[in-house]
Amino acid sequence: MSNPKTRNISVTGSIGFSDLKVSEPSDYAAGIPGIKAALEHVRKESGLFRSLKTLSQMNQKEGFDCPGCAWPDPETPSKLGEYCENGAKAIAEEATFDRVDRAFFEKYSVEEISTWTDYQIGKSGRITEPFVLYPGSVHYEPISWSDAFSMVAKHLHTLDSPDEAIFYTSGRSSNEAAFLYGLFVRAFGTNNMPDCSNMCHESSGVALTETLGIGKGSVVLEDLYEAEVVMVIGQNPGTNHPRMLSALQKCKENGGQIITINPLLESGLNRFKNPQQIDGILGKGTQLTDIFLQVKINQDVSLLKLIMKRLVEREKKGEPVFDRDFIKDKTNGFQELLNDLEKYGENHLLELCGVDSSQVDLAVDLLAKKSKIIICWAMGLTQHKNGVDNIKECVNLLLAKGSIGKKGAGTCPVRGHSNVQGDRSVGIMHHVSEPLNKALKDIFDFDPPDKEGLDTVNAIQAMHQHKAKVFIALGGNFVSAASDTRYTAKALQNCDLTVSVSTKLNRTHLTAGKTALILPTLGRTEQDKERFVTVENSMGKVHQSRGRLKPISNKLRSEPEIVAEIAQAYFGEDSKINWMVLGMDYGLIREKISEVLNGYEDYSKRSKGAGFYLPNNAREADFSKLPDGKAQFSICRLPEHDLKDDEFLLMTVRSHDQFNTTIYGMNDRYRGIYGERRVVFMNPYDMEEKGIKPRQTVDLISNYSTTERKAENFKVIPYNIPSKNLCAYFPETNVLVPIDLYADKSNTPASKSIVVKIEIKHK
């Protein structure tokens, strides 16, 4: 047979401009514009009635868990429903009336769709039935569910080793789906389970496990209300976790203060008008940030070291700054940390972090006097070469203050996807866990693989090198989310088969393997017969979620059903595990989870209502599993960025109108950007020095280990951002992130510190 024609797929889509309008950034978040924006999305996408019904059930005890973010719900949700503008947009995207059906794929080839922007692709709508793309073909065609499952099984059987398959997971899958998937993949024989966490909070997981013995945060929601100081570092909650603003507001009402560390003064952290309170809608709102430390990109370690040094000076003068009893009883390595701090000159640290010295003093003064401190963080800390050290330096500060394991204090890594934490807890990971393997062997009677699997970066490299040949994704949009888009696209296209279990069309369906399948699944909002699933929020609480809307097509299957059918097709009738029964009966899956894992006793029952917390040793200040039974201080190095005169450090962030690679709209209201996403924020003095005018068109070039990468066509926006720093949106800028630039130990792509040059475009 002759080689099928390769498809001509654009990995970036159109790079033309739309219609840019710029205004002053907003100085507050939410309020009336937030409600208006939410309702507009809801009306446009899904009809007002259908969605209001949906919104009112979001994050209520009998409703469904918002697919937006993983922020926890308060014990008594507000009468208006615990939803936010961006939660409403997430729902509207799922409840949309637009359809990707047979007629759609007859009309458009994958080659044509690939020239659209991600915004246009996402707006095509929900996928209505299974589709297949045959080798050499450029049109997806319908395929029956049973033929699709047989096709997956056939490909898996032809592999020389189970390690030639990759099983990706995004973070929207329920605990039940994720557990069943992990069970199948291990029974199949590999630990190749990369997940979106690898690109997200992996650095937090590694740092927290090594220092505190658990890869999750230690606080619960009520701790935020009680904290004396909350530090929000490298996070933009106004856009990405809007319901967190209500918690910060409560903290302030109780007398707490907020220190924000960020290269940008994000409006959500400035002033907040709570849409669920009348005075929030009509009044001036609450000033959230008390002290704003405008750090240069990736200089958080320098700033935290400076803060620690000044705290040490104050202690030397006789102030009771550190919790010496806690340090003595509960920790290891404080003296080494103090010795190390002496190596750094204050002025050098000040210059590196770029923060005004008097502002640093304000923070030091506050931190010296208070002991109930919480540090919240997200991608601004994790997505750097030294992502793990960034978090360890935060832990150092908390341990020195005795701010772990007591009320109103602790670590708060704010998770991304609504169930990314749950997926990990029930077994989605590429590492080998001996206790998990042992339990699986005891209960399911097979030998789980004991070889480390591939994470996201390594999986991409394996596919690129033809070492892995089948790629299966439970959700997500791998090609647009991962680094080095062109490289990753090639990696997927090298595969013999790519399979996407998806709700909506995305670019990964286009950068397909030789054969590709799209298996359409129910969204979180949709009725799944009479069944419910469970999820775990950012603070380790497990609770139910039950969809209420009529599914958009009667040909959709639930994720557990799809996983079970693939397993059944692969293992056949003689399998020791009754896959089909598990796929139908989520209660049974929960029983199995509670047999395999600690902390899930009486699972189905306890997940009702408010749900239950999983065990958390850091919350109890129990470090018995760590060396010497103690929490560990760490010595962290300063990051190295030797920027040449024409080089800048670029961070790639989310706009207000997107959920990761799903683009809700073209605006970034809080930052004053309307109608365009191909923009790059730049310091006005840097612009002047380089002769760049506002809205000038430029290309961004990254040179890393001899490869030049280019992202074309960006309009430069003068913005309040530190000198030598730039900011632009992902996924458009993922073409610039080198595949081999990732965090030490966690392998998280360093998508917040990419060295780039700016090339002015002359027409």
What is the contact surface with Mo ion in residues (CB under 5 A)?
200, 416
- Secondary structure of 462-486 as H, E, C letters: HHHCCCCCEEEEECCCHHHHCCCHH
Q: Segment 80-99, which members bind ligand MGD (CB under 6 A)?
A: 86
Token readout for 434 is 């001996």
Closest chain position to ligand MGD (CB): 416
Among all chains, which residue has been given the structure tokens 């069970």? 183
Any contact of residue 516 with ligand MGD (CB under 6 A)? no
Among all chains, which residue has been given the structure tokens 């992902």? 730
Provide, rounded to whole angstroms, the least separation between the CB of residue 447 and ligand MGD. Answer: 29
List Cβ neighbours of 118 (8 Å cut-off, separation of 6 or more). 13, 480, 506, 507, 661, 662, 663, 731, 732
Any contact of residue 264 with ligand MGD (CB under 6 A)? yes
Compute the Cα dihedral for 96, 101, 104, 108 and give only its sign.
positive
Q: Which is nearer to Mo ion, 200 or 373 (CB)?
A: 200
Q: Segment 621-680, which members bind ligand MGD (CB under 6 A)?
A: 651-654, 658-662
Provide, rounded to whole angstroms, the least separation between the CB of residue 672 and ligand MGD. Answer: 15
Site string for ligand MGD, 476-505 (x = CB under 6 A): xxx--x-------------------xxxx-
Site for ligand MGD (CB under 6 A): which residue of 7, 50, 155, 172? 172
Q: How far apart are CA 258 and CA 621, in angstroms?
A: 24
Q: Taking CB within 5 to 8 Å according to partner kind, which of Mo ion, ligand MGD, none is near residue 234? A: ligand MGD
CB under 6 A: which stretch of 142-150, 203-211, 377-385, 582-590 binds ligand MGD?
A: 377-385
Residue closest to 622 by CA, chosen among 388, 329, 394, 390: 329
Provide, rounded to whole angstroms, the least separation between the CB of residue 590 and ligand MGD. Answer: 19
Phi, psi torsion values for 64, nearest 5 degrees: -110, 160
Calculate ∠ Cα 201-207-210, nearest 5°: 140
Q: Per 3-state DSSP, what percentage of the chain is helix, strand, and coil (rounded to 5)? A: 40, 20, 45
Q: How far apart are CA 661 and CA 730, in angstroms?
A: 8
Q: Taking CB within 5 to 8 Å according to partner kind, which of Mo ion, ligand MGD, none is near residue 239? A: ligand MGD
Compute the Cα dihedral for 748, 752, 756, 758 and give only its sign.
positive
Q: Which is nearer to ligand MGD, 623 or 659 (CB)?
A: 659
Any contact of residue 534 with ligand MGD (CB under 6 A)? no
Provide, rounded to whole angstroms, the least separation between the CB of residue 579 and Mo ion. Answer: 30
- 78-117 exposure pattern, b = at least 16 Cβ within 10 A, e = fewer: beebbbbbbbbbbbbbbbbebebbeebbeebbbeebbebb
- Look at strands 679-682 and 28-30 and give their pairing: unpaired
CB under 6 A: which stretch of 167-175, 318-326, 356-364, 577-585 binds ligand MGD?
A: 167-175
Residue closest to 193 by CA, chosen among 214, 163, 173: 163
Any contact of residue 198 with ligand MGD (CB under 6 A)? no
Q: How far apart are CA 570 and CA 562, in angstroms?
A: 12
Look up residue 165 and give its amino acid. A
In DSSP terms, 232 is beta-bridged to 260, 376
Any contact of residue 69 with ligand MGD (CB under 6 A)? yes
Q: Which is nearer to ligand MGD, 153 or 295 (CB)?
A: 295
Q: What are the distances in angstroms from CA 440 to CA 389, 422, 558?
A: 34, 18, 24
User: In which element (H, E) is residue 251 found?
Assistant: helix 243-253
Provide, rounded to whole angstroms, the least separation between the CB of residue 203 and Mo ion. Answer: 12
Closest chain position to Mo ion (CB): 416
Provide, rounded to whole angstroms, the least separation between the CB of residue 481 and Mo ion. Answer: 9
Provide, rounded to whole angstroms, the least separation between the CB of residue 74 and ligand MGD. Answer: 18
| 356, 722 Cβ separation under 8 angstroms | no
Provide, rounded to whole angstroms, the least separation between the CB of residue 318 and ligand MGD. Answer: 32
Provide, rounded to whole angstroms, the least separation between the CB of residue 72 and Mo ion. Answer: 17
Provide, rounded to whole angstroms, the least separation between the CB of residue 378 and Mo ion. Answer: 8
Provide, rounded to whole angstroms, the least separation between the CB of residue 748 and ligand MGD. Answer: 8
| 30, 131 Cβ separation under 8 angstroms | no
Q: Taking CB within 5 to 8 Å according to partner kind, which of Mo ion, ligand MGD, none is near residue 389? A: none
Total residues in contact with ligand MGD, by rule CB under 6 A? 61
Q: Taking CB within 5 to 8 Å according to partner kind, which of ligand MGD, Mo ion, none is near residue 477? A: ligand MGD
Q: Which is nearer to ligand MGD, 233 or 388 (CB)?
A: 233
CB under 6 A: which stretch of 231-239, 350-358, 487-495, 527-535 binds ligand MGD?
A: 231-239
Q: Which is nearer to ligand MGD, 327 or 512 (CB)?
A: 512
Any contact of residue 68 with ligand MGD (CB under 6 A)? yes
Any contact of residue 236 with ligand MGD (CB under 6 A)? yes
Number of other CB atoms surrounding residue 711 within 10 Å = 26
Q: Segment 405-434, which members bind ligand MGD (CB under 6 A)?
A: 416-417
Any contact of residue 263 with ligand MGD (CB under 6 A)? yes
| 665, 41 Cβ separation under 8 angstroms | yes
Compute the Cα dihedral for 82, 85, 90, 93 and give only its sign.
positive
List Cβ neighbours of 530 (8 Å cut-off, separation of 6 or more). none
Any contact of residue 518 with ligand MGD (CB under 6 A)? no
Q: Which is nearer to Mo ion, 125 or 215 (CB)?
A: 215
Any contact of residue 512 with ligand MGD (CB under 6 A)? no
Provide, rounded to whole angstroms, the least separation between the CB of residue 229 and ligand MGD. Answer: 16
Provide, rounded to whole angstroms, the least separation between the CB of residue 195 and ligand MGD. Answer: 8
Any contact of residue 289 with ligand MGD (CB under 6 A)? no
User: In which element (H, E) is residue 653 found?
Assistant: strand 647-653
Q: What are the distances in angstroms from CA 639 to CA 298, 299, 300, 301, 727?
A: 7, 7, 9, 8, 19
Provide, rounded to whole angstroms, the least separation between the CB of residue 534 and Mo ion. Answer: 20
Any contact of residue 714 with ligand MGD (CB under 6 A)? no
Cα(first)–Cα(last) distance of the chain, in Å?
A: 47
Site for ligand MGD (CB under 6 A): which residue of 12, 59, 262, 294? 262
Q: Which is nearer to Mo ion, 204 or 634 (CB)?
A: 204
Residue ranges binding ligand MGD (CB under 6 A): 68-69, 86, 170-172, 196, 199-200, 233-236, 239-241, 261-264, 266, 295, 297-298, 300, 378-380, 383, 416-417, 474-478, 481, 501-504, 506, 521, 523-524, 559, 651-654, 658-662, 730, 733-734, 737, 751-752
